[in-house]
Structure 1
Amino acid sequence: MKEIIDTINGIIWSNALIFLCLAAGVYFSFALKFLQVTYLREMIRLLFGGQSSDKGVSSFQAFAIAIAGRVGTGNIAGVATAIAMGGPGAIFWMWAIAFLGAASAFIESTLGQIYKEVNNGQYRGGPSYYIEKGLGMKWYAMLFAFATILSTVIFLPGVQSNSIALSANNAFDIPVHYTGIAITLFLGLIIFGGVKRIGKVAEVVVPFMALAYILMAVIIIIINITEVPAVFALIFKSAFNMEAAFSGVFGMAIAWGVKRGIYSNEAGQGTAPHAAAAAEVTHPAIQGLVQGFSVYVDTLFVCTATALMILFTGQYNVVNPEGGFIVENLPGVPFGPEYTQYAIGTHFPAIGKGFVAIALLFFAFTTIMAYYFIAETNLSYLTRNKSSKWAVRLLQAAILGTTFYGSVKTAEVAWTLGDIGVGMMAWLNIIAILLLRKPAFKAWEDYKKQKKEGKTPVFKAKSIGIENTDLWK
């Protein structure tokens, strides 16, 4: 079975997908004139605008739900994996895919807003909706919906619960099945409360967990301030094959940097548009900008915090593709959250393992919450205002089951299944947003035009030639 899973993963995550992700980011960045730089201040300002309503969440709540999905195991264990398999240079490629991916995130999230609709009294939207309405390809939309439900309910939750359980076991000697039971029960309490409760939990937990983690990283950076130039030089030299020690993993640095970058920040993957569509805003481009900034928060802030802690302290190994290790500073330690636990433990031995275990609990648990929100949105698309209580209950039971199962299975299998899930959605969504780029471009030009005229941007789809929108007449 493992060989079959590995083969499927190898096919999905071929060089073609890596090229597609990078190429889409480059294209959208140039087409949008690098709005991820020129409109950075606007991105931050819009975070706190707008209010929630009976149908939707506030702009900040949508941002928090998206960050809950983006910031997870990938920010701790995923970064460690990228370094272990691709060397320090993989971090540069994670930065690159975040910078370019912010433009892709703008496109997909703007489209999510343009083509959203009201189902059972709540805003719903995402790739399935914009594929059907924008491209007129219902079969493609249904394929994405099924693939996303499969990924977010079956493949992806296990990665998060597995990392929570392993780090808790490493820090506190808690048996993994005890941790699995606890997080499954708590998840049930939240998801049975619906989308609004997910938004309320996310807006409280996400900022707290991210700031605490980044603060720890800042402390370690200050302690190692004299090493900053050397560490950044190591990252850049390794990224461009100029560091002799890591020349054997140059290609792996690109592959694993992009792979783990997308897994972490989800740019172009098609997950964030679900949260973006749930926001109550006056113009789709507002959520496009907000979600573009969330990619920065995930990778440039949280992933970088992990990477610097690991590299400053030298608590990592780098695998040699031909066998053995290029660097083996932690003999016998598997790549994963343990790298970060040892890194923090270097300076704070009393709290290192425990701090990472708690941070990972917050990161990974809120990600599972976001997965459920995404799965429910795609189920809502498939049922379209029909009575679907039994289907929702089945969905809830399934994600609770896979969350528990993931906590007790091996990390390697969990990560491989997670990669398959991410890859499936990325293929389907990036192709879709490339085909459907024009409505997003029109919305962006309309937003800029109204801003230049001193107006508060209000979107009217038909006035700029966009059809098949339910809510922007």
Structure 2
Amino acid sequence: MDAFIEGALDVVWSDWLVWLCLGAGLWFTLRSGLIQITGLPNMIRSIVRGGSSADGISPFQALTMSLSGRVGAGNIAGVAGAIAVGGPGAVLWMWVVALLGAATSFIESTLAQIYKERDPRTGEYRGGPAFYFERAYRHTWARIPLTIYAWCFAMASVVALGIFLPGIQTSTMATAVTNAVPAIDKWMVGVVLALVLGTIIIGGVKRIAAFTARVVPIMAAFYLLVAIVVVLFNITEIPDMVRLIVSSAFGVHSAFGGMLGVAISYGVQRGIYSNEAGQGTGPHAAAATEVSHPAKQGLVQAFAVYIDTLIVCSATAFLILSTGMYRVFGEAESLVSFGGYADGLGFEAEPGMDVEYTQAALDSSLQGAGAILLAVALTFFAFSTVVYYYYMAETNLTYAIRRVKNQTFQRAALAALQVMILIVVFYGAMGAGGQAWSIGDIGVGLMAWLNIVGILILQGPAFKALRDYRKQLKAGRDPQFDPREVGIRNAEFWERRADGALPGEPDPQRETAARR
């Protein structure tokens, strides 16, 4: 089984996917006119000024929801793993994929807003890759193949988000907790997680959004504060650390000269797992938002990539590298470089023991407290990620079975998903999955393949919306969206909203014209 998993991982995460992610991000960056840089002021404005409605959450809530999925074990254990396998240079490639990925995130999230719809069962907004794959060209000959493609993405997402990925989060969390407090057994962590998760996910998207809006900003600020304190303790090491990252990223460092390809591959792989740009997860939260123009939420989700990778992941990397608490391993798990990993920490460093590297980095400066502080931070990181995984899995399952008229079957399918993810959460906390990261990477890779290829085909409407958004801003207006004015078809939600048939943010210009 291990050989099968590793073989599947090599196929999914071949060099083709690495260059697809980087190439798509570069293309969207150039075509959008560097939207991830030029759009920064409007990103902040959209987050601060946006409101919610009875059916849709606010842009800030959507930001925290998507961050709850992005900021998790990948930001702590994943960064340590990237350094352990790809060397310190993998960090720079994580930054590159974040910068380019912000443009990709803008495109996929704008598409999700354009083609969102209201769930007939709950009244909540739903959307995502499966929805825009089906709807974008529904009026053309491509309707049937794109519908099949959408269904394939939906089912791949249900499996990846409901089965493959939650175990990584809970396994990493349970490891951190039991390392910090040996008196706690992993099964105890699993039981508590399953009980709390069950009470949240049954409440629907509103309860999920309320939970993440409260938890994510606090946990991120807490972790960043602790990381800054430790880095300041080792501030004299920062210049050497930066030189180490840059030199090893391009294969010119003496110890890591032969690792250029591994640094790029693993940096991109872990970067996408962490910030999820192009993976197709961010659009689910983007679609649930109440905004006056799709581009507004596209900008918010682009900013989420920055927070995840350029801030949180960088904090972890600086923690580990500035304290020297890392090792780099070769393909055969042989030691390539000893990075100053301290002795006497109570365990022997091995590939895959990623969270312990970060705990050791904290303990090096906050002796006795580092492991506990990280366990607390990781508990919130990982748990909020699992909550968001469930929301996305539910959204895609709802899409996959929505043509089934039997409501009893629909309720049973959703209940089965809830039971499944609770089992996976408990099982993952028990540490039963030795190949958890590899299985999770397969799920991430499948979603990325399907989504990036899809948005490269369907990118047109997103750029039409961007041009319309910029045109209205230039005219001094708060952008309001009517898809018919820019030649976008099949966006029925926005057509009805523009006609006044749906509630939403007021459009002063349209109201003034109507009174005249």
Q: Does the alignment reach a TM-score above 0.5?
A: yes
Q: Does 1:29 align with 2:24?
A: no
The residue identity in structure 2 corresponding to 1:300 is L
In the alignment, which residue of structure 2 is the partner of 1:64? 64
The residue identity in structure 2 corresponding to 1:125 is G
Native 8 Å contact 2:95 2:310 kept in 1 = yes
Q: Does 1:348 align with 2:366?
A: yes
In the alignment, which residue of structure 2 is the partner of 1:193? 203
Native 8 Å contact 2:73 2:378 kept in 1 = yes
SS in 2 for 1:455: coil
Larger radius of gyration: 2
Distance in 2 of aligned mates of 1:130 and 1:322 = 43
Question: What TM-score does the superposition give when structure 1 sets the normalisation length?
Answer: 0.98
Native 8 Å contact 1:47 1:59 kept in 2 = yes
In the alignment, which residue of structure 1 is the partner of 2:392? 374
In structure 2, the CA distance between the partners of 1:412 and 1:89, relative to structure 1 (3 Å rule), is farther
Distance in 2 of aligned mates of 1:128 and 1:270 = 9
CA drift of 1:226 comes to: 2.0
1:21-420 → structure 2 map (5 Å cutoff): 21-119=21-119, 120=121, 121-135=123-137, 136=143, 137-173=146-182, 174-321=184-331, 324-328=334-338, 329-330=340-341, 332-334=348-350, 335-384=353-402, 386=405, 387=407, 388-410=410-432, 412-420=434-442
CA drift of 1:298 comes to: 0.2
CA drift of 1:409 comes to: 3.1
Native 8 Å contact 2:107 2:462 kept in 1 = yes
Range with bigger deviation, 100-109 or 133-142: 133-142
CA drift of 1:48 comes to: 1.8
In the alignment, which residue of structure 1 is the partner of 2:512? none
CA drift of 1:333 comes to: 1.9
The residue identity in structure 2 corresponding to 1:382 is A
Distance in 2 of aligned mates of 1:197 and 1:38 = 34
Range with bigger deviation, 153-162 or 319-328: 319-328
Q: Deviations over 1:349-395 (max 9, x none)?
A: 12110111111100000000000110111122123385222111111
Distance in 2 of aligned mates of 1:432 and 1:321 = 33
The residue identity in structure 2 corresponding to 1:246 is F
Range with bigger deviation, 38-47 or 233-242: 38-47
Native 8 Å contact 1:337 1:356 kept in 2 = no
CA drift of 1:323 comes to: 5.1
Q: Deviations over 1:76-121 (max 9, x none)?
A: 0000000000010000000000000000000000000000000121
The residue identity in structure 2 corresponding to 1:4 is F
CA drift of 1:411 comes to: 5.5
Native 8 Å contact 2:279 2:448 kept in 1 = yes
SS in 1 for 2:493: coil
Native 8 Å contact 1:163 1:411 kept in 2 = no
The residue identity in structure 2 corresponding to 1:134 is A
Native 8 Å contact 1:249 1:320 kept in 2 = no
Q: Deviations over 1:412-466 (max 9, x none)?
A: 4111110011001000000010001110000000000000000010000011000
Say how many residue pairs are matched.
Answer: 473
Which stretches in structure 1 are left out of the alignment for 5+ residues?
none
The residue identity in structure 1 corresponding to 2:492 is D
Distance in 2 of aligned mates of 1:264 and 1:412 = 20
Distance in 1 of aligned mates of 2:331 and 2:401 = 47
Distance in 1 of aligned mates of 2:203 and 2:372 = 30
Q: Deviations over 1:106-148 (max 9, x none)?
A: 0000000000000121100000000001143110000000000
RMSD: 1.2
SS in 1 for 2:476: coil
Distance in 2 of aligned mates of 1:470 and 1:72 = 35
SS in 1 for 2:136: helix
Native 8 Å contact 1:442 1:464 kept in 2 = yes
Native 8 Å contact 2:230 2:366 kept in 1 = no
Distance in 2 of aligned mates of 1:46 and 1:231 = 36
